[in-house]
Amino acid sequence: MSSFQKQIRANCRRLADSPRTMETIYNIIFTHGDKVMTVDASLVGASSRKTYRQAREEIERAARGIALHTKGETGKFIGLYGENKPQWMILFWAILKSGNTPYLINLRQPADFTADALKSLGATVTVCVENAPDFGTQTISYQTLMTGDAPIVHAPFADGFALSTSGTTLSKKICVYTGKNVAAQILNVMGMMKENPAIVKDRKGQIRHLTFLPLYHIFGLEAVFLWYSFFGSTFVFPPDMNPEHLLRTVRDHEITHIFAVPLLWAAVEKSVRKEASKDPKTQKKLETGLKISRTLQGIFPKLGQKIARILFRDVQAKLFGDSLIFCISGGSPIKPSTLELLNGVGYHLCNGYGMSEIGITSVDLSKNIKDRLLATVGRPFSSVAYRIDCDGRLLVKGDSLCGKMTVDGLDCPMGEWFNTGDLMTRNEKGQYRISGRASDLVFGDEGENLNPDLAEQVFSLTQAVNFTVTGDKDNEKLILVVQIPNGLTKEQKALLLQEIADGTGKLPPAYQIKEIYFTFDPILSPREIKVSRARLRRQITEGTVRLFDSLGDSEPSERPADESPLKAELRGIFAEILEIPPEDVTDTGHFMNDLGGSSLDYFTLLGKIDEEYGVTLEFEMEQFSYCLNDFARIIGEKRP
């Protein structure tokens, strides 16, 4: 056992013997002293690093600033707004130390949702990393809090935090956690270490975490920030979300752990397969190597992974390098092919499970690749219990669930067992696997329950922006809804139709797709990480998602008229990043919803604009709609 793991066990024993409050968790975390807590990869030299001791000093100063600006008011909710930055972590603890409870503002949710949430919580103050929209509260920046001297805070340390659900349902939920809930979550690591020590395995005496997940999401907050700061880890903040910059940050800073949503892993898989597809020999070599790797890892897990790293040394050098020890995907289902590729090239990638209402409750800790490729979410942690009801839905109870929840502004008792709404199956090893959402079930011709996720998994539509299998307006038959980009060529349309035919040919009779529709309208909100079928059905009924049943009905591409040099340059940048002809980049087409870009493509675009024009644009700017016309307007206004 390493000294790092011994320290984790000692900290867990100390927490178990304590009152298990946010204050005791805070005091244990900041015993790490001169260990480096954060690294800001956008900076260089000593200014880029902050030790746990330095962070604690900043927290105490920020807490004094909060007390000064709120006139010592305690027992209130205070909004916390900001993208991932070391300052976010400082402000989280500073709010608690000031005697108040942080409400973690989800930047992907509309401003009016946040304003309503703050009002319902009685919050009158929002602190922010840099700046924040007007939520109808007093707004105080990190810089303001750190300016000037304020008296020492003697307020009682607050004992919890609140956050909102991620927005894939139609209800507005706010979940409130206490120190007891967080302590139960942290103490799960004792059992996890026994099952698979790699989850807290260090490299050169350090665990270095890529701080990629938003800290205001339950996954980023609990599984990254609270867990790993308790362990004395180092959090590395990438300079931006440009894919190349992310990969370079991982390699340059020797990142050991990455937890992310499937979007990141799918983007990596896409890049590897796309590069290999350029040459038939390279593609065959990749597939042969993956098969050999999976076979060896299935027989000799440790040796097989070492051989995989040798076989795919060149691939790893272009991706995350060789420092990665443990990776988790969570937040939505991950494609089996993504798990196969990432594990096949030698990275330990597994599947996890959690929700805003219940925290993080399980992760697949299998050491053998055969088990990881089953895409289970593992067994429940020691702080919770799982039960599958008669309808196949997962029920969860335990100490790490949120202590209180409000739905649409009304208190909602949690009850002994929380119904997740997720359909689960359990194998002979006690591992659980998500098979879909109960609310998405479709009632078939003969009264059987049809799970659209099972049908959706057979499709691989490379020419689509997004797609989903869902129920029709009466929820009586399965339909396929495909969002396509504007300007598909004849060849691309033919390929898309062939891919649809290939998928439908794999479906059993009961799961046959009854109707196929196409749309140019977005079916995945930029604030979502998976398509909400309930929201989509509502939008189809309302007409905000317009469907047509033939690719021949596609709209013509807009042709640029006489345009400025700036706009012409931007059109070329769009085309380069999206890998489409410049003439397919329409003036009003949404970068993601119409032109087919991903969130990572979008971050690449922002990085390129910063590089070319010296204009820094925030991902969450709500005053433009992600189209060429608006980018040209704003850059014209902002560039030096």
CATH code assigned at 602: 1.10.1200.10
Tokens of 93: 């603890």
157 residue type, one letter = F
Cβ distance 315 to 282 under 8 Å? no
| pLDDT of 504 strictly over 80 | yes
- Same domain for 357 and 211: yes
Q: Taking CA 29 as the corner, what is the angle to CA 206 and CA 10, rounded to the nearest 5 degrees? A: 75
State the Cα–Cα distance between residues 462 and 366, nearest whole angstrom: 31
Least confident of 224-228, 287-291, 362-366, 562-566: 562-566
Instruction: Give me the DSSP letters along 498-525.
Output: HHHHHHHTTS-GGG---EEEEESS-SS-
Looking at the fold, whether 520 and 575 belong to one and the same domain comes out as no
Beta strands in 298-403 (DSSP E): 326-329, 349-355, 359-363, 379-380, 384-388, 393-398
Q: Kindly report the backbone phi and psi dihedral angles of residue 307, in degrees, each rounded to the nearest multiple of 5, phi listed first.
A: -65, -40
Please give the share of the chain, as a percent, with pLDDT higher than 70: 92
Task: Judge if 209 and 350 occupy the same domain.
Answer: yes
Residue 563 has what pLDDT?
67
Same-domain check for residues 231 and 369: yes
Both 240 and 376 in a single domain? yes
Least confident piece of the model among 151-155, 292-296, 462-466, 618-622: 618-622
pLDDT > 90 in the chain, percent: 50
* CATH number for the domain harbouring residue 515: 3.30.300.30
546 lies in the same domain as 583: no
The answer to whether residues 356 and 261 belong to one domain is yes
pLDDT reported for residue 624: 46
Tell me the average pLDDT across 514-530.
78
**Do residues 348 and 452 share a domain?**
no
| Domain carrying residue 228 | 199-384
Alpha-carbon gap, residue 100 to 347, rounded angstroms: 41
Q: What is the pLDDT of residue 381?
A: 97
451 and 538 inside one domain: yes
The pair of structure tokens assigned to 16 is 């178990």
In a domain, 626, yes or no: yes
Give the C-alpha separation, 41 to 32, whole Å: 21
Residue 274 in domain: yes
CA distance 585 to 624: 17
The answer to whether the beta carbons of residues 329 and 352 sit under 8 Å apart is: yes
Residues contacting 637, CB < 8 A, separation 6+? none
Mind listing the pLDDT tens digit for each residue in 347-360? 999 999 998 999 99
In this prediction, residue 314 carries a pLDDT of 92
> Where a domain ends, among 336, 353, 384?
384
pLDDT band at 110 (very low <50, low <70, confident <90, very high): low
**Mean per-residue pLDDT, 445-472:** 79
CA neighbor of 412 nearest in space, from 81, 129, 165, 114: 165
Instruction: Name which residue leads in pLDDT, 612 or 297.
Output: 297
pLDDT at residue 607 tops 90: no
At residue 622, the pLDDT reads: 39
Domain termination residue (choose one: 360, 384, 408): 384
pLDDT bin (cut points 50, 70, 90) of residue 568 is: confident
pLDDT at 443: 67
What three-state secondary structure class fits 474? coil
In-domain check, residue 408: no
**pLDDT number for residue 520:** 87
Instruction: Identify whether residues 362 and 283 lie together within a single domain.
Output: yes
Mean pLDDT of all residues belonging to the chain:
87
* Single residue among 518, 552, 586 that ends a domain in this structure: 552
Residue at 106 is within a domain: yes
| Residues 370 and 364 sit within 8 Å (Cβ to Cβ) | no
Does 613 or 304 have the greater pLDDT score? 304
Do residues 481 and 472 lie in contact, with contact meaning Cβ atoms separated by under 8 Å?
Answer: no
Residue for token pair 């603890």: 93
Above 90 in pLDDT, residue 526?
no
What is d(CA 141, CA 18) in angstroms, rounded to the nearest whole number?
A: 34
Q: Which of 296-300, 519-523, 550-554 has the highest mean pLDDT?
A: 296-300
Q: Which of 33-37, 87-91, 257-261, 558-562 has the lowest mean pLDDT?
A: 558-562
Q: State the residue for tokens 């409000």.
A: 406
- Domain assignment present for residue 16? The answer is no
CATH number, domain at 61?
3.40.50.980
Identify which has the larger pLDDT, 381 or 447: 381
Domain-embedded: residue 559? no
Asked if residue 379 is part of any domain, the answer here is yes
Cα gap 627→250, rounded to integer Å = 31
If asked whether residues 530 and 606 sit together in one domain, one would say: no
Lowest mean pLDDT segment, chosen from 18-32, 84-98, 613-627: 613-627
Q: Which residue has the higher pLDDT, 5 or 31?
A: 31
Concatenated DSSP letters for 321-338?
TT---EEEE-SS---HHH
> How many domains in the chain?
4
What pLDDT, on the 0 to 100 scale, is given for residue 145? 94
Q: What tokens appear for 106 in the block?
A: 């989800």
Residue 168: its pLDDT value, please?
44
454 and 529 housed in the same domain: yes
